Amino acid sequence: MKALLSYRGLSFLGFAGCASGLLMAIFFFQKFLGLEPCPMCIFQRVAMLAAGLVFLIAALHGPKAWGRWVYSGLATLASLIGAGIAWRHVWLQGLPEDQRPACGPTLSYLMDMMPLQEVVTTILKGDGNCAKIDWTFLGQSLPFWTLMVFFALIAWALLTPLLARR
Protein backbone atom coordinates (compact mmCIF):
# COMPACT_ATOMS: atom_id res chain seq x y z
CA MET A 1 0.00 0.00 0.00
CA LYS A 2 2.86 2.33 0.82
CA ALA A 3 4.40 1.85 -2.64
CA LEU A 4 1.05 2.59 -4.26
CA LEU A 5 0.86 5.96 -2.48
CA SER A 6 4.34 6.91 -3.59
CA TYR A 7 4.77 9.30 -6.49
CA ARG A 8 6.02 6.43 -8.64
CA GLY A 9 3.03 4.27 -7.74
CA LEU A 10 0.50 7.01 -8.40
CA SER A 11 2.16 7.88 -11.71
CA PHE A 12 2.13 4.22 -12.68
CA LEU A 13 -1.61 4.10 -11.94
CA GLY A 14 -2.06 7.06 -14.31
CA PHE A 15 -0.12 5.14 -16.95
CA ALA A 16 -2.20 2.01 -16.30
CA GLY A 17 -5.40 4.03 -16.74
CA CYS A 18 -4.21 5.39 -20.09
CA ALA A 19 -3.01 1.97 -21.23
CA SER A 20 -6.36 0.41 -20.24
CA GLY A 21 -8.25 3.05 -22.20
CA LEU A 22 -6.12 2.49 -25.30
CA LEU A 23 -6.37 -1.29 -25.05
CA MET A 24 -10.13 -1.03 -24.67
CA ALA A 25 -10.34 1.26 -27.70
CA ILE A 26 -8.26 -1.05 -29.85
CA PHE A 27 -9.32 -4.51 -28.74
CA PHE A 28 -12.92 -4.02 -27.57
CA PHE A 29 -14.32 -1.21 -29.68
CA GLN A 30 -12.24 -1.64 -32.83
CA LYS A 31 -11.51 -5.38 -33.01
CA PHE A 32 -14.44 -6.93 -31.08
CA LEU A 33 -17.28 -4.50 -31.94
CA GLY A 34 -15.83 -3.61 -35.35
CA LEU A 35 -16.02 0.17 -34.87
CA GLU A 36 -13.48 1.87 -37.12
CA PRO A 37 -12.01 4.98 -35.50
CA CYS A 38 -12.66 8.27 -37.24
CA PRO A 39 -9.78 10.77 -37.54
CA MET A 40 -10.85 12.60 -34.35
CA CYS A 41 -10.88 9.27 -32.48
CA ILE A 42 -7.34 8.63 -33.66
CA PHE A 43 -6.23 12.06 -32.41
CA GLN A 44 -7.85 11.31 -29.05
CA ARG A 45 -5.90 8.05 -28.89
CA VAL A 46 -2.68 9.95 -29.61
CA ALA A 47 -3.44 12.39 -26.78
CA MET A 48 -4.13 9.49 -24.39
CA LEU A 49 -0.92 7.81 -25.50
CA ALA A 50 1.00 11.05 -24.83
CA ALA A 51 -0.51 11.38 -21.34
CA GLY A 52 0.27 7.71 -20.65
CA LEU A 53 3.88 8.11 -21.74
CA VAL A 54 4.30 11.13 -19.47
CA PHE A 55 2.87 9.14 -16.55
CA LEU A 56 5.18 6.20 -17.37
CA ILE A 57 8.28 8.38 -17.62
CA ALA A 58 7.33 10.08 -14.33
CA ALA A 59 6.92 6.66 -12.69
CA LEU A 60 10.31 5.49 -13.94
CA HIS A 61 12.07 8.75 -13.12
CA GLY A 62 10.50 9.35 -9.70
CA PRO A 63 11.39 13.05 -9.47
CA LYS A 64 11.33 15.10 -6.29
CA ALA A 65 9.83 18.51 -5.51
CA TRP A 66 9.23 20.71 -8.57
CA GLY A 67 10.05 17.88 -11.00
CA ARG A 68 6.77 16.25 -10.01
CA TRP A 69 4.93 19.38 -11.08
CA VAL A 70 6.72 19.39 -14.44
CA TYR A 71 5.42 15.89 -15.18
CA SER A 72 2.03 16.83 -13.78
CA GLY A 73 1.90 19.82 -16.13
CA LEU A 74 2.87 17.73 -19.15
CA ALA A 75 0.30 15.02 -18.37
CA THR A 76 -2.31 17.72 -17.77
CA LEU A 77 -1.46 19.40 -21.08
CA ALA A 78 -1.76 16.13 -23.04
CA SER A 79 -5.06 15.38 -21.29
CA LEU A 80 -6.39 18.89 -21.92
CA ILE A 81 -5.61 18.52 -25.62
CA GLY A 82 -7.42 15.17 -25.65
CA ALA A 83 -10.36 16.68 -23.77
CA GLY A 84 -10.55 19.52 -26.28
CA ILE A 85 -10.65 17.10 -29.20
CA ALA A 86 -13.23 14.92 -27.44
CA TRP A 87 -15.36 17.98 -26.64
CA ARG A 88 -15.28 19.04 -30.28
CA HIS A 89 -16.25 15.49 -31.26
CA VAL A 90 -19.23 15.52 -28.85
CA TRP A 91 -20.24 18.93 -30.19
CA LEU A 92 -20.18 17.65 -33.78
CA GLN A 93 -22.34 14.69 -32.82
CA GLY A 94 -24.85 17.03 -31.19
CA LEU A 95 -25.41 19.09 -34.32
CA PRO A 96 -28.73 18.68 -36.12
CA GLU A 97 -28.52 16.35 -39.11
CA ASP A 98 -28.74 19.18 -41.66
CA GLN A 99 -25.89 21.12 -40.02
CA ARG A 100 -23.38 18.29 -39.84
CA PRO A 101 -20.38 18.57 -42.15
CA ALA A 102 -20.07 16.27 -45.12
CA CYS A 103 -18.03 13.10 -44.83
CA GLY A 104 -14.39 13.54 -45.73
CA PRO A 105 -11.48 11.38 -46.81
CA THR A 106 -9.63 8.97 -44.54
CA LEU A 107 -6.70 10.03 -42.39
CA SER A 108 -4.22 8.07 -44.50
CA TYR A 109 -5.44 9.82 -47.65
CA LEU A 110 -5.12 13.23 -46.00
CA MET A 111 -1.60 12.40 -44.82
CA ASP A 112 -0.63 11.46 -48.37
CA MET A 113 -2.15 14.57 -49.97
CA MET A 114 -1.58 17.45 -47.50
CA PRO A 115 1.11 18.89 -45.27
CA LEU A 116 0.79 17.86 -41.60
CA GLN A 117 -0.47 21.25 -40.44
CA GLU A 118 -3.35 21.17 -42.94
CA VAL A 119 -4.18 17.59 -41.95
CA VAL A 120 -4.45 18.59 -38.27
CA THR A 121 -6.58 21.64 -39.10
CA THR A 122 -8.87 19.61 -41.36
CA ILE A 123 -9.36 16.87 -38.80
CA LEU A 124 -10.01 19.24 -35.91
CA LYS A 125 -12.79 20.86 -37.97
CA GLY A 126 -14.37 17.44 -38.15
CA ASP A 127 -16.45 15.80 -40.83
CA GLY A 128 -19.52 13.65 -41.21
CA ASN A 129 -17.61 10.51 -40.25
CA CYS A 130 -16.94 12.04 -36.85
CA ALA A 131 -20.57 13.13 -36.42
CA LYS A 132 -21.93 9.56 -36.66
CA ILE A 133 -22.86 7.90 -33.38
CA ASP A 134 -22.11 4.18 -33.66
CA TRP A 135 -22.20 3.18 -29.99
CA THR A 136 -23.80 4.49 -26.80
CA PHE A 137 -23.69 3.62 -23.13
CA LEU A 138 -26.23 5.10 -20.73
CA GLY A 139 -27.44 7.28 -23.58
CA GLN A 140 -24.04 8.87 -24.23
CA SER A 141 -21.67 8.38 -27.16
CA LEU A 142 -18.13 7.04 -27.02
CA PRO A 143 -16.55 10.52 -27.44
CA PHE A 144 -18.55 11.70 -24.39
CA TRP A 145 -17.13 8.87 -22.28
CA THR A 146 -13.66 9.58 -23.65
CA LEU A 147 -14.12 13.21 -22.56
CA MET A 148 -14.98 11.98 -19.05
CA VAL A 149 -11.82 9.85 -19.02
CA PHE A 150 -9.75 12.87 -20.02
CA PHE A 151 -11.32 14.90 -17.19
CA ALA A 152 -10.36 12.10 -14.78
CA LEU A 153 -6.80 12.08 -16.17
CA ILE A 154 -6.54 15.85 -15.71
CA ALA A 155 -7.64 15.50 -12.09
CA TRP A 156 -5.25 12.59 -11.55
CA ALA A 157 -2.32 14.46 -13.07
CA LEU A 158 -2.96 17.48 -10.84
CA LEU A 159 -3.54 15.44 -7.69
CA THR A 160 -0.62 13.03 -8.08
CA PRO A 161 2.05 15.45 -6.73
CA LEU A 162 -0.26 16.38 -3.86
CA LEU A 163 -1.25 12.83 -2.92
CA ALA A 164 2.22 11.33 -3.13
CA ARG A 165 3.77 10.45 0.19
CA ARG A 166 7.09 12.15 0.60
Strand, helix or coil at 55?
helix
Q: How confident is the model at residue 104 (pLDDT cuts 50, 70, 90)?
A: low
pLDDT at 144 over 90: yes
The reported pLDDT for the residue numbered 166 is: 57
Average pLDDT of span 12-35: 94
* Residue 88 to residue 82: CA distance in whole angstroms: 10
The helix (run of H) or strand (run of E) holding residue 91 is helix 66-94
CATH of 7-163, one of 3.40.50.300, 1.20.1550.10, 1.10.287.70, 2.40.10.10: 1.20.1550.10
Q: How confident is the model at residue 128 (pLDDT cuts 50, 70, 90)?
A: low
Mean pLDDT of the chain: 87
* Residue 151 to residue 153: CA distance in whole angstroms: 5
